[in-house]
Amino acid sequence: MLFKSKEVIVSEQSFVVKDRNQCLKVEGWGRDTVRVTCYPNHKGFDPKQGIEELEKNVLTTATVTETSDQLILTNNRLTATYDGEKLVFYNNGTIILEEYSRKQSQVRRTVGIDTHIPIPDEPTSSLNISPREFTYSGENTYQATLRFEGDPNEKLYGMGGYQEENFNKNGGTYELMQRNSQTSIPFYLSDKQYGFIWNNAAIGEVTFGYNQKIWKSNNTNLIDYLVTVGENPKQIIENYTQMTGRTPRLEPELLGLWQSKLRYQTLDELRTVYEGYNQRGISLSVLVVDYYHWTSDGDFAFDSRYWEGIEDFAEEIKKTGTQLMVSLWPTVTEESRYYQSYRNNQLLIRSVTNKDSLFAGKALLDFFHPESKTFLRQVLDENYRSKGISLFWADQAEPEMDVYQHKEYLIYEGSLEKYANKYPLHYLQAIQKNPERSNTEPTLIRSAWFNAQKYGALAWSGDIESSFDSLRRQVQVGLSMGISGITWWTSDIGGFHSGNSQSPVFKELMIRWFQFAVFSPILRMHGDRQPHTQKIGNSGGGVRTSGGPNEIWSFGEEVEGILTRFIHIRTRLKDYIRDVYNESATKGLPIMRSLFIEFPDDPKSWEETTHYLFGSDLLIAPVVTEGATHIPVYLPKGCNWIQVFTKKVYPGGQIYKIAVTLNTIPVFCKEGAPLEHHLADIFGN
């Protein structure tokens, strides 16, 4: 073999290759999946940097074959070959992914008389670029780089949620970092019928260049990635979610309207909102108490001056099917009753200069520390669950910082930069009452990572602007998050940062966003509306102002009438939505689905960026342009489609110009689906 300077160890389902610098391991990992790990020889494998609950989806049947010039690992449909420099991956014999290597042939640098050495007839390069590199970055750590050949025609979907309109990530550069309104989950699904996991939580970057795909992680001693294949996108997603986890089953009672705003200041105000919906015959699923209901950041307790009797109210509204949710923040001020305890027990993220202030003059809890998790569960039991409140909103989950310089901060495990993208996962685990077993209660959270879905993560897209451009971006964010395994997803209806909430443009935006949200996983009102009301005190829960009204009746009679109509449609769709949620729990499939998930053989389904399927049978075309009277809609080929509001039938495989009014958006049902027989009852005649 051409591995003269390397040590090779072959076992039944893996092989290991060591040279003077690196150790490379290639192994079968469940069904149709290969895992590749590489690290500097003098270091070793740090499993805490990656997915700690990475399951082998089924019993592995991989085999390893040695030839004169290759090691070949075959795992059902997937084959990986190694020639001493690079790995190449095949799905049923077709190349799908190839590491990028530009090295000279080994004989060209042989010491001696070169004139008698035969030169192989094979590609060679003097660039001296390896597929896998570790660059020393000081303090006994490295920057890891992994390269693959690029393909300008490939389509890549997933990667979490980035605030852009590009659904296909090929050609883009993406920061591997959690930010407010940015969720980094480094998994993508390719139209070449494979999925790819970059299994490293360190801060980094990926460039999906047309010439090279380049992954980089800072402050790491590890390259760890997985490739999984299937016959179609559904199989790939099933493989992926079997490894990283699936959602629990959601209570059907939570599928209605969630009411929230920045922020209800008192129990009296909250009660008035609840009664307003009751008077209109609308049963809320969830009513939300936002931030600064507490005495101080880090106390995790209601300020009794404004929330006396909250436990009685929680019990009262639960009888009508409404649950309370409360906001949690990981921020801590020096005024907190627990501040000294947090600090003395090293439960706070700290800077390398030993300062606590990381965000707006406040410290942040270090949820990597086991004692922080234990403490939070205890205070949530004492101050919320004891009052009948078991739904939580994990805000500030990135965590947001004044300056995103993670290398400047220290956590229980060491440098924050090395583990930063897992912070939302540890935050989730701290909130769970019983983290060792499945929990059906969702946690609304502003970021996520691998495994988060197992712990009930309901991600939302963060503090986004109120505009039609923003609405258009949220469609692809929701689709990308679903492909990335986070199938419970929502956005702030109307956007978070709004200008004049009474302007005609905003009212139209509110209608269009609400119509989109009715056909998304969770229907949730939230936002910071203008103008603000004044603060009601000088301490505790009274120190913050409140955004303007954000209930369905807050924007005039016309808006209220349209939103009410769509609430009733959502209610009548509940059985269908419940079944879609159950499919997500059992198979890992998104609730909002890109067209290609159900129609992979239709090339145009891979191109569509603003239309999607809600479950398998409803096609939704949100209106994302101000003042639209018609929008083009592509209906996938292979079946006929029924427009649910007109009952007109359209053959698939064509683009149609569909008329829209403020009261409607294009929604189509697949002809022959069970739902077809209930269209009149659900959507009207």
Tell me how far apart the alpha carbons of residues 527 and 261 are, in angstroms, rounded to a whole number.
5
On whether the CB atoms of residues 555 and 527 are closer than 8 A, the answer is: no
Return the CA Rg of the chain.
Answer: 27
Please choose, from the candidates 237, 249, 678, the residue with its C-alpha nearest in 3D space to the C-alpha of residue 484. Answer: 237
Which three-class secondary structure state does DSSP give residue 122?
A: coil
637-650: b (≥16 Cβ within 10 Å) or e? eebebbbbbeeeeb
The single residue listed with the structure tokens 């001696």 is: 112
On whether the CB atoms of residues 194 and 91 are closer than 8 A, the answer is: yes
Tell me how far apart the alpha carbons of residues 135 and 315 are, in angstroms, rounded to a whole number.
58
On whether the CB atoms of residues 247 and 456 are closer than 8 A, the answer is: yes
The single residue listed with the structure tokens 């199938």 is: 487
Tell me how far apart the alpha carbons of residues 150 and 212 are, in angstroms, rounded to a whole number.
4
As a whole number of Å, the end-to-end CA separation of the chain is 73
Active site residue 463: yes
Tokens at 259, concatenated: 């009411």
Amino acid at 511: I
DSSP notation for 73-103: EEETTEEEEE-SS-EEEEETTEEEEEB--B-
Active site residue 601: no
Tokens at 473, concatenated: 């971006």
Tokens at 167, concatenated: 């659904």
Tell me how far apart the alpha carbons of residues 153 and 163 are, in angstroms, rounded to a whole number.
23
Tell me how far apart the alpha carbons of residues 120 and 109 are, in angstroms, rounded to a whole number.
13
Phi then psi for residue 265, to 5 deg, are -90, -25
User: Regarding beta strands 489-490 and 457-460, do their DSSP bridges make them parallel or antiparallel, or are they unpaired?
Assistant: parallel
Please choose, from the candidates 445, 415, 466, the residue with its C-alpha nearest in 3D space to the C-alpha of residue 328. Answer: 445
State the number of CA atoms in the 13 A half-sphere of 310 facing the CB.
Answer: 30
Q: CB neighbours (10 Å) of residue 110?
A: 10
Tell me how far apart the alpha carbons of residues 129 and 148 are, in angstroms, rounded to a whole number.
11
Sign of the CA dihedral with 314 first, then 316, 317, and 320 last: positive
How many residues in the chain?
685
Catalytic residue among 398, 400, 508, 598: 398
Which three-class secondary structure state does DSSP give residue 143?
A: strand
Catalytic residue among 395, 400, 508, 598: 395
Active site residue 297: no
Please choose, from the candidates 217, 244, 233, the residue with its C-alpha nearest in 3D space to the C-alpha of residue 35. Answer: 244
Instruction: Determine which helix (DSSP H) or strand (DSSP E) holds 418, and give its type and residue range.
Output: helix 416-419
Query: Cβ neighbours of residue 249 under 8 Å, at least 6 residues apart?
Result: 440, 581, 582, 585
Tokens at 54, concatenated: 């990475």
Peptide bond into 531 cis (omega under 30): yes
Catalytic residue among 27, 356, 463, 508: 463
Catalytic residues: 395, 398, 463
